[in-house]
Structure 1
Amino acid sequence: MTSWVAIDFETANALRGSPCSVGLAKVKEGRIVEEWSSLIKPPDGHDHFDAYNVGIHGITADRVRDAPGWPETLERIVQFAGDTPFVAHNAAFDIGVLADACRASGLPVPDLRFACTLVVARRAWTGLLAYKLPVLADALGIELPRHHDAGDDARAAAQVMLAALKRQGTAALDDLLAVHRIRMGSYRGGARQGCKYWGATRREPSPDADPDADPDNPFYGLTICFTGSLPDMTKAVAAKRIAALGAWTSDNVTRSVDLLVVGGIKPHQLAPRATKTGKLAKAERLRDSGHDITVIDDEEFYELLAVAEN
């Protein structure tokens, strides 16, 4: 498995079935050999553009007015990839976009396999505090001209996976996943199996969280802390939503916290001469001492929330 295709989508709104652009980067024998990207006219009923999404990627309804629709785009994606697996950074989101766009268009989800560079990176480079694509690109010396440009993000995701393969000393994607005890994700007959790490014992959700939540969602069993302000959502609402997903909220950063979500920080919220919140500083100290705590920003939190709730 030395050939695969990195894929990235941008969406018009909070609905995952609203792709408005796609980027692809084909890898063979350790190098990128072909790239393709396109704007997409989202499926009917999913084609409104939210200001939040437009602010992230800059794509508007006017720009996609004459773009190919989802059926034509899907055909090109399938032809481009052939029978090779897909790779994406936070693949649960990107493969979810592909699947939901098919459903919104009345099309079957094609059978496919996929691997996630986010899952791989957290096992390959354990010393990083955060694993967003721009953070990884900077840490690994990968050029990322425009984050949230689908073509640039697909190329960067391909380079992250190539760096992980090189670090492990293997050219085969399945060998890399096996070393890190990561399961390849798939769609078969419309049924999804996620790409995930199988090396840790599954934790039970907090008594305050929903015990019947989907254990395959990215928040299940986690203890989460928030610092700063979330756009368009109070922390109380965020805590309620993640509780429904089997997670629990902590008011402070302790060794029981798995995930710190960093929202917007206003200068008056910081201590004198401080450049970061106390919670973030403590998370960094815990990370330096060997505690496995992940830090994400509000944008990534919303992306994971969209994956988990759909």
Structure 2
Amino acid sequence: MDFIAIDFETANRYPNSACSLGIVYVKNHQIIEEKYFLIQPPSMKFDRKNMDVHGITPEAVKDAPKFDEVWKTIGQDFDGTMIIAHNAYFDMSVLSACLKEYGISVPNLNYCCSIPISNRAIKGQRVRQSLKERTNYFGIALEEHHHALADARACAELVLKSIEASGQSSFANYLDAHPSLPIKRLSKLKPMYAFSKEKAPAAKPFNKTVKISDIQPTIDIDERLPLFGKNFVLTGDLDSMDRTDAMQAIVNFGGILKSGVSKKTDYLIIGRQDKTVVGDKGISSKERKARELQENGSPIELLDETRFLRLLAEASSITSIK
């Protein structure tokens, strides 16, 4: 097997609440098999915003197998296999949480995200990280977006198109040609405590979304954390969590939220932009200012969503959200 592409949908904001799973098997540069499962989550609490995204209701899964039953039929496929997902941190957090929920041993697998995989094929062109934008760039039909099997298939096709665009003959050759790809072990994952996968509303000015003063730590802050005392500014919306959750995570890990970019800014988190607000180039005024400051010697770091999630994961490895 070259790799397996997967996609989970969840009933609510907690990663153990998987309610569907799509799996696409790729061998010799071809999709050879597909599987789709509805899953009954351990709690039948479905958030309305999740249902609005994927359309799965409690009624649809009331007779579906639970994850441990599903795993009995697919677990052997995952052992020793490369797993790929779009925004893999989300799907791997779901897989990890579901395994833990049912006391299942973590399989021996590596995983990688299709975002950095496709980044290598895009070669510096500014294409947004969402599955919809990436598949559109490569001319891949994305039907029934947020249906787990449709998204898993689109993810697999995105990887295959990336390989072709780079002139490589196989997935193995593509990995050899790009040794910097972040391939990780599931056993080393520090999953998020909670998140939201649904797409956020169109970007709004930061101060109108939520007041910074409303975000206060909900845990005792550990001063050892790498985020402690660092100034953070957000621009745009994230695909893996809503803005309030991102702000709360930053504050809980000791970061300081700021509404505007300045010389004192340590990190600018760059999310998905609404072009009707920021213009056709998709670059916000905050990002433009941050880049100008960088050119003038400011050490401000610009983080896309993947790097931001990695930063949170690093902080979570020191202390976890309770």
TM-score, structure 1 length as denominator? 0.71
Match of 1:261 in 2: 271
State the Cα deviation string for residues 146-181 of structure 1 (Å, max 9, x = none): 111000000011011112222233344454345150
Deviation at 1:259, TM superposition (A): 2.7
Note closer, same or farther for the CA distance 1:4–1:104 as it changes in structure 2 (3 Å cut): same
Match of 2:234 in 1: 225
Match of 1:200 in 2: none
* Distance in 2 between residues matched to 1:238 and 1:184, nearest whole Å: 24
SS at match of 1:182: coil
71, 74, 88: which is aligned to 1:74? Answer: 71
Instruction: Check if 1:142 corresponds to 2:140.
Output: yes
Give matches, 1:121-136, under 5 Å. Answer: 121-125=118-122, 126-136=124-134
Percentage of matched positions with identical amino acids = 29
* Distance in 1 between residues matched to 2:137 and 2:236, nearest whole Å: 24
Note closer, same or farther for the CA distance 1:229–1:33 as it changes in structure 2 (3 Å cut): closer
Whether contact under 8 Å (2:142, 2:154) holds in the other structure is yes
* Distance in 2 between residues matched to 1:33 and 1:286, nearest whole Å: 48
SS at match of 1:160: helix
Give matches, 1:1-310, under 5 Å. Answer: 3-43=2-42, 46-81=43-78, 83-125=80-122, 126-178=124-176, 179-188=178-187, 191-192=188-189, 212-213=224-225, 223-227=232-236, 238-245=246-253, 249-252=257-260, 258-261=268-271, 275-277=276-278, 280-282=283-285
Whether contact under 8 Å (1:42, 1:70) holds in the other structure is yes
Counterpart of 1:260, as a letter, is I
State the Cα deviation string for residues 1-36 of structure 1 (Å, max 9, x = none): x61110110011111011100001111111111111
Deviation at 1:262, TM superposition (A): 5.1
Deviation at 1:107, TM superposition (A): 2.0
- For structure 1, which segment, 16-25 or 221-230, has the greater mean C-alpha deviation from structure 2 after superposition? 221-230
State the Cα deviation string for residues 49-96 of structure 1 (Å, max 9, x = none): 111211111111110011111112112222444542111111111111
Whether contact under 8 Å (1:129, 1:295) holds in the other structure is no
* Distance in 1 between residues matched to 2:44 and 2:114, nearest whole Å: 29
Whether contact under 8 Å (2:84, 2:114) holds in the other structure is yes
* Distance in 1 between residues matched to 2:261 and 2:160, nearest whole Å: 34
Counterpart of 1:275, as a letter, is T
* Distance in 2 between residues matched to 1:160 and 1:234, nearest whole Å: 27
Counterpart of 1:94, as a letter, is D
How many residues align structurally? 270
Root mean square deviation of aligned Cα:
4.1
* Distance in 1 between residues matched to 2:253 and 2:172, nearest whole Å: 30
Note closer, same or farther for the CA distance 1:185–1:227 as it changes in structure 2 (3 Å cut): closer
SS at match of 1:276: helix
* Distance in 2 between residues matched to 1:276 and 1:233, nearest whole Å: 19
Counterpart of 1:261, as a letter, is G
TM-score, structure 2 length as denominator? 0.68
Whether contact under 8 Å (2:24, 2:35) holds in the other structure is yes
* Distance in 1 between residues matched to 2:179 and 2:47, nearest whole Å: 38
Counterpart of 2:74, as a letter, is I
Deviation at 1:102, TM superposition (A): 1.3
Match of 1:199 in 2: none
Deviation at 1:287, TM superposition (A): 11
* Distance in 1 between residues matched to 2:232 and 2:172, nearest whole Å: 31
Whether contact under 8 Å (1:239, 1:248) holds in the other structure is no
Note closer, same or farther for the CA distance 1:229–1:31 as it changes in structure 2 (3 Å cut): closer
Deviation at 1:122, TM superposition (A): 3.2
